Structure 1
Amino acid sequence: MKKLRFKELIIISLVESSARKINLDADVNVFIGDNDTGKSSFIKSIYYALGATPPQVHPEWTQIMPITILKFAKDDIIYNMFRHGSYIVLFNENYEIINTFASIGNELSPYYEDFFDFKLKLTHSTSGELKTPLPSHYFLPFYIDQDVGWNKNWNSFDRLTEFKGWRKDLIEYHTGIKPNEYYILKAEKILMSELGKEITSELNALERVYLKAIEKNNSVLQVNIDVKQFEKDIEHLVIKLNEIKDIENKYRTKILDLYNEKAIIDHHIKLAESTIKELNKDYDFAEQLNETIECPTCGAMHPNTFAQRYIIAQDENRCYELLLQLNQEKGKIEAKISKENVELEEYSYKKNEIEAILNQKREEIKFNDYIENVGNSKLVDALKDELSILRNRIADIDGTIKNINKKMRKYVSGELQEEIEGYYFKLMKSFLFKLNVNKLKEETFKSISSSIKENGSDLSRALLAYTYSVLLVMEKYSSTYKCPIIIDSPLQNEQDDKNSVKILEFIRDHKPEYSQLILSCVDIHGVEFEGNIIELTDKYHFLSKDKFGEIFAEVQFIIDKAMKI
């Protein structure tokens, strides 16, 4: 069984010198606390640590620029994920770097294709490319967000609409209606179809040339060169070539400027690293000194106080934060360099094409002489041969697509879909009854892809029934990883005491057997949970300044490795 389990989450802010470490190594983890104790900020940070984007984050949380370090087990193998902003580092159990990621969409998402066996491909809304969706899409069924998750199903992460038609494909993927193998074949089919379109376009153009040739009443085809038109064509191509060369030069200048920026940042990184090392020495030295220090200039004695050592430590924290920011900037610049190089290559390709056309134009006069000497028959024969080659290629592609369709049909079973939909519907009816949702019409939730719509306090209970129905369908039919279920503040929309108890007991009693549960709420209304119960009591201070020194000492080597100090 493919299973993901969270072990521990450390959140540390170098900006305000605060931190917290939470043990998550239990089947059930319940966080209880009043509003403003930081429950939601913590809950949002868990899947955020793995690259998913929460829909809303409190601005004060963003300002402290938290670092997250999540320890998790995938198939009983321990990993650690470091994240600061968009910079992510994956470590193994011994904190050896496996991979680093400067971009979630372009680097982390493709990595998850193999890491989590996430073979679904969707069309990107802007580029039109067929790509692996985001971590937000992969973890979506397992998370209900406090801010938006209780208003609409399949809605608890941001950036979901970056892909066209994502909802239907994602639901069919996660629920097992269409498995991984289907989407691997679908991606292959799309690529083959695009290739077929290109070759068909080439074939159509060549057929037009062929028809013109045979229309000459089997006489010699005269390829007359219009000198004036020829000169105009050459002039146009030269102008276009010069324009592209100018654009190439601009790209090269821009890339050079980016490399200069990167060199400056590299220099600043070295300075920050050097400063951190020196501050470490100063701190160690200050701790070893006597209670008083003699001034080397005037001979006066000064107390070697904790406050002075704390100032050194604060300087070190600021340097770490600066170093993190510099590494993020460096990652962004490297991404820009990569993008500019790709675009430069495209223009270089266009330039080469035009240069090839110019060479071809220069050969046209010679070609005209050749046709006059050899005659139309050989030209027609050559066109026939080329047409035959293209038709054979199209036939091969059509055959490949037919074979792919045949393989895809093996993974699309009407009986299986009907079975899954029936199982979902049975669960949904049962769960709605248990959660005291009595007015929701069956036709509004009969399909597993339904959008759940209700009013008042019934809406959040209906959404909870739907979420658990889908999770139990996934447990039975899906090949995706069994990821931890995270539910933030389920007692929404002024639930009365009776319904509050029903909600909490339902969450506890119907949890999929092999899934970990992380629950956050203000009050559990006397409902007993076996597992890790954590009470949060400090208003406005989820992270602790008092624990910062201890936690920072524990994770400093991880930060050093992540920043390659």
Structure 2
Amino acid sequence: MRSQVIFEEIQLLSIKERKAIKVNLNYNKLVIYGKNDTGKSTIIKSIFWILGLNPSSLFSDDKLDKNLIGILKIKYLDNYYFFYRNKDSRKLFTFEKQLLIETERNSEWQEYLANFFNYPLSLIQFNNLEEYYIGLQGLLTPYYIDQDTSWNAKWIGPFENLNRYIDFYQQVIEHFTGIISNETIILKQKQKKLITSKKENELKIKIYNQSRNELLGNYHDTDHLPEINEDLFIKNIEESSDILKKSKKLQDELKNEINNIISDRYKVRNLLKSAVNLHNESIADLTVLNEIPNDSTIECPTCGTHHKKTIKANIALEFDIQGIEENIFFLNQQLEELKKQEKSAINKLNLINNEIEKFDIQLDSNVSEEYTFNDILYSYSSKNIRTNIDLNINNIYDDINKINATILDYQNRIEIIDSTDSVKERKRKIKKAY
């Protein structure tokens, strides 16, 4: 990255202070110098922050506003790019302002930049043993020394949460210095993936064993059960199972049918109640109307309009009453039909329930003086469960053995490429040089 990336420009906007700054960086030789408290560290840390990292002492003593918005312009492989950062929101644009990635998830950001800058170093996290690309956290770690923590203090790392990774510093420094070759790094990464896969398989075996204990914990030795014709036994089980499935399905259908009938009956009853009330009101209105002499003026109780009472009004009201009575008769017929349907469905449901109960009784019936049909069914099922679980466990053990063989093969190749002695010699030369 040092030889391929040129920092061109940085822009910072403080929402809190309502101030902005733009710094043009000299791409020929990038050295930031100045007196104390002139903002050198702020510029340097802001560059790392906009790149998506979190310098460990970035906001110490509230020297840097946490509500900064930053843009960093770089040149990489003869192309220009813009990095954007606002709190946890990270974005990367091309020079033509095409958005390449936008995310608030650090792992997603680091994985993208690991591929973007061709830095495929990945490490394992302590908490979940999952593998993650390090990205710029690993790529920039060797370049960043934070003088705020003192030059003589033990180096705890420049960015936050690096201690979550197994052997972070050793692997990054070995990769950076060339103590370990890239080929060895890749082989070690493959080893780590295989080790993780091996642990997952070992967990599967543990789960299978727990399942077997839970399913067959009360299983007693039934090898001495009466001999049975397995083919005939399986056929009977399949036929019985088919009958039971159909019975259960019909049972559910009848339950739904009864619920629908009850719902319809409830609606019809409400309609019938309303029709009877309307009929009574209409009879009462007709009685009052008959007592009023013809050609009398009547005031409508609803709208207040005055109407003349005629024989025609009596006929119209009587006609309405007749229609209501026909509707009541129809609703009563409909109600009776729903009662018949409900009774028929309940009878069918009782027959199905009886068949299911007979089937349950059959399972508890004796097939010999000592054992019931249920005993043999349980015995047969338990043997199948054991056989299937053991088969799966054996297959997993085969996978683990293959993984172990591949891990050993990778280790042999690593020893050929970077033997223990050659790595020690490189470390010795580096220590001597510094």
Length-normalised TM-score, structure 2? 0.56
Distance (Å, rounded) in 1 between the aligned partners of 2:34 and 2:361: 86
1:422 to 401, 420, 425: 425
Alpha carbons 2:198, 2:403 under 8 Å: kept: no
Aligned to 2:206: 201
CA distances 1:217-274 after superposition (whole Å, capped 9, x unpaired): 53269xxxxxxxxxxxxxxxxxxxxxxxxxxxxxxxxxxxxxxxxxxxxxxxxxxxxx
Q: Does structure 1 residue 384 correspond to structure 2 residue 387?
A: yes
CA distances 1:159-218 after superposition (whole Å, capped 9, x unpaired): 222334433333344444264422441342133213311331144346657798683453
CA distances 1:44-64 after superposition (whole Å, capped 9, x unpaired): 222222122222235454237
Alpha carbons 2:114, 2:136 under 8 Å: kept: no
Cα distance change on mapping 1:383 and 1:66 into 2, 3 Å = closer
Residue 398 of structure 1 aligns with an amino acid whose one-letter code is N
Alpha carbons 1:140, 1:154 under 8 Å: kept: no
Measured after TM superposition, the shift of residue 99 of structure 1 is: 1.0
Distance (Å, rounded) in 1 between the aligned partners of 2:373 and 2:114: 55
SS of the residue 2:154 aligns to: coil
SS of the residue 2:47 aligns to: helix
Q: Which has the higher contact order (CA 8 A, sep 6+)?
A: 1
2:89 to 73, 87, 90: 87
Aligned to 2:171: 169
Alpha carbons 2:81, 2:92 under 8 Å: kept: yes
Q: Does structure 1 residue 400 correspond to structure 2 residue 396?
A: no
Distance (Å, rounded) in 1 between the aligned partners of 2:361 and 2:124: 46
SS of the residue 2:158 aligns to: coil
Cα distance change on mapping 1:171 and 1:64 into 2, 3 Å = closer
Residue 422 of structure 2 aligns with an amino acid whose one-letter code is E
Q: Which sits farther off after the overlay, 86-95 or 122-131? A: 122-131
Cα distance change on mapping 1:164 and 1:389 into 2, 3 Å = closer
SS of the residue 1:83 aligns to: strand
Distance (Å, rounded) in 1 between the aligned partners of 2:119 and 2:361: 56
CA distances 1:2-55 after superposition (whole Å, capped 9, x unpaired): 8333233223334332312222422x2222211111111112222222122222
SS of the residue 2:198 aligns to: helix
CA distances 1:475-498 after superposition (whole Å, capped 9, x unpaired): xxxxxxxxxxxxxxxxxxxxxxxx
Residue 428 of structure 1 aligns with an amino acid whose one-letter code is K
Distance (Å, rounded) in 1 between the aligned partners of 2:56 and 2:156: 12
CA distances 1:340-395 after superposition (whole Å, capped 9, x unpaired): xxxxxxxxxxxxxxxxxxxxxxx999987764355735642552244123312321
Q: CA RMSD in A?
A: 3.7
SS of the residue 2:149 aligns to: coil
SS of the residue 1:72 aligns to: strand
SS of the residue 1:158 aligns to: coil
2:157 to 155, 158, 171: 155
Aligned to 2:46: 45
Distance (Å, rounded) in 1 between the aligned partners of 2:362 and 2:80: 70
Distance (Å, rounded) in 1 between the aligned partners of 2:19 and 2:361: 77
Measured after TM superposition, the shift of residue 89 of structure 1 is: 0.9
Distance (Å, rounded) in 2 between the aligned partners of 1:366 and 1:144: 80
The residue correspondences of 1:137-286 to structure 2 (distance < 5 A) are 137-148=138-149, 150=151, 151-153=153-155, 155-176=157-178, 177=180, 179=182, 180-205=185-210, 215-219=221-225
Residue 422 of structure 1 aligns with an amino acid whose one-letter code is E
Alpha carbons 1:55, 1:148 under 8 Å: kept: no
Distance (Å, rounded) in 1 between the aligned partners of 2:91 and 2:13: 16
Structure 2 stretches lacking a partner, 5+ long: 228-358, 365-371
Measured after TM superposition, the shift of residue 398 of structure 1 is: 2.4
1:66 to 65, 68, 77: 68
Cα distance change on mapping 1:197 and 1:375 into 2, 3 Å = closer
Cα distance change on mapping 1:112 and 1:376 into 2, 3 Å = same
Cα distance change on mapping 1:154 and 1:408 into 2, 3 Å = farther
Structure 1 stretches lacking a partner, 5+ long: 222-362, 432-565
Bigger Rg over Cα? 2
Distance (Å, rounded) in 2 between the aligned partners of 1:145 and 1:365: 79
Cα distance change on mapping 1:43 and 1:82 into 2, 3 Å = same
SS of the residue 2:24 aligns to: strand
Measured after TM superposition, the shift of residue 124 of structure 1 is: 3.2
Residue 156 of structure 1 aligns with an amino acid whose one-letter code is P
Distance (Å, rounded) in 1 between the aligned partners of 2:96 and 2:374: 73
Measured after TM superposition, the shift of residue 415 of structure 1 is: 4.1
Distance (Å, rounded) in 2 between the aligned partners of 1:74 and 1:149: 32
2:100 to 98, 101, 116: 98
Alpha carbons 2:14, 2:65 under 8 Å: kept: no
Aligned to 2:335: none
CA distances 1:522-564 after superposition (whole Å, capped 9, x unpaired): xxxxxxxxxxxxxxxxxxxxxxxxxxxxxxxxxxxxxxxxxxx
Residue 98 of structure 2 aligns with an amino acid whose one-letter code is E
Distance (Å, rounded) in 1 between the aligned partners of 2:40 and 2:131: 37
Residue 205 of structure 2 aligns with an amino acid whose one-letter code is T
Distance (Å, rounded) in 2 between the aligned partners of 1:22 and 1:74: 17
Aligned to 1:332: none
